[in-house]
Amino acid sequence: MLGLNKKDFGLLCIVTFMAAAAPILLNPFPETSTLSFLNAGYPALMQLFAIFGIVLIGFNILFGLTGYLSFGHAAFIGIGSYTAMWMYKLLNFNVIISIPMAMFVTGIFAVLIGWICLRRTGIYFSILTLAFAEMAYRLSYSVLTPITGGETNLSPDPINDPMILKGENGLTVPHLFGFDLNAKYVAEVGNWSFTFEAGYYLCALVLVLSFYLSIRVFRSPFGMMLRAIKANNHRMGYTGLNPKPYMLAAFVISGLYAGLGGGLLVAMDAQAGAERMFWTESGTIVIMSILGGAGTLLGPILGAGAIKYMEKILSSISESQLHSWLSILPDGLEDFLVYILANFFVGHAWHLTLGLVFMLVVIFVPGGLVELGQRVASRFRRKGSEDALVSKETPAE
């Protein structure tokens, strides 16, 4: 179905189910439970899961298939965000206009940047992409301040901005043909509270479509050419095929996905800032890809979800929570452990925990979360087959 084989169609069904049921699946603990802080089934965080999953799907086409590592991909997110915001300011708040325009403008920049950066390979390509992203970040705070808003960020002002037009039904918030994307329905089931928001489901729908397109790219002759580039770019050139158009196409497709993510970020939160283009954001995208499993279909989604979940949960843990968890220990030991954890591993220092997890993944599971899942599944299958063999060889009494 849909031009997919049985395995790929199964993966698409899994992603679709997870996206649709996320408000339920990500709320395993009731509100009254002490573990309720581990829940992630609220709209703001689920939107980040979906949006960065989209960005990582595109980044995976460049990095996972061709092996070209870009350290400036956050620039495309920023360009998409600014473009979508200017569509709000000049036209209206309908996302059906802002998001395609965000992709279009980002695609133009991706062609120009990719045409220059792809003249070099390896670390030189990565440094060039980082340089372009840093230039975009610095320019947004200097000469481009009238366009980007500078340090105050860019946001629509429907009252004082004479150029802005109110959307359908007088809405002055992002909407889809008059349907408010902030509209939500809260279902109370016992001690559980499940929130279903229109904005999240728009992001989830785009995520599923993006995942489907990535499968088609992976299984297409174009995807095979990208794998050949990763395997041996020089040998591919010896066959008479010019790899540069394929590399540029992969770079532009990856940029379009990032621009789409930037447009969706503005659709969920109507403001755009240069901090989305800072080099650390590009580094986070790389970490997400490696953590999930570069070159795999599910890896980008898993990596994006894992990093954003760790960021939200670990950064929200306070000293009072640590004291309540470690209260069974002697006072001196409790205070010492709370001091170590609060100052080095959680709260504002959660990045150290992320770094340790990333090191462990790179050292012991180079294929990321996808490889870890495959190893666990293989272990269970092996154990099941061994048990079946033992039971078959054991004579009946």
Closest CA to 93 of 148, 169, 197, 171: 171
Say if CB 140 and CB 148 are below 8 A apart.
Answer: yes
Q: What angle do CA 112, 113, 119 make, to 5 degrees?
A: 100
**pLDDT > 70 in the chain, percent:** 92
Q: What pLDDT shows up at residue 171?
A: 60
For 198-214, how does the pLDDT look when each residue is reduced to its tens digit (9 = 90+)?
889 999 999 999 999 99
* pLDDT > 70? residue 382: yes
Mean pLDDT of 241-252: 91
51 in any annotated domain: yes
Residue 202 lies in a domain: yes
- Model pLDDT, residue 1: 62
Quick check: is 279 in a domain? yes
pLDDT at 249: 95
More confident residue, 77 or 384: 77
The larger pLDDT score, comparing residue 235 to residue 199, is at 199
- For 194, the enclosing helix (H) or strand (E) is strand 192-197
Considering the domain boundaries, does residue 381 fall inside one? no
DSSP label at residue 232: -
Question: For the chain, what is the domain count?
Answer: 1
- d(C-alpha 196, C-alpha 175), whole Å: 16
CB atoms within 10 A of CB 366: 11
Residue 121 lies in a domain: yes
For residue 341, give the nearest of 327, 331, 326 by alpha carbon: 326
The size of the chain, in residues, is 397
Q: By C-alpha distance, which of 273, 217, 254, 223 is closest to 81?
A: 273
Amino acid at 91: L
Q: Residue 191 sits in which domain range?
A: 15-29+40-314
Residues 76-105 have a mean pLDDT of 89
Query: What pLDDT does residue 60 have?
Result: 94
Instruction: Look up residue 298 and give its two tokens.
Output: 């599910």
In a domain, 337, yes or no: no
Would the pLDDT of 71 be above 70? yes
Half-sphere exposure of 195 (CA within 13 A, CB side): 16
Closest by CA to 217, choosing from 69, 4, 19, 11, is 4
Q: What integer best gives the mean pLDDT of the chain?
A: 86
When pLDDT is averaged across residues 314-338 and rounded to a whole number, the result is: 86
What's the CATH number where 199 sits?
A: 1.10.3470
Q: How far from chain centre, in Å, is Cα 9?
A: 22
Q: Which of 87-91, 155-159, 202-206 has the highest mean pLDDT?
A: 202-206
Residue 325 lies in a domain: no
Residue 384 lies in a domain: no
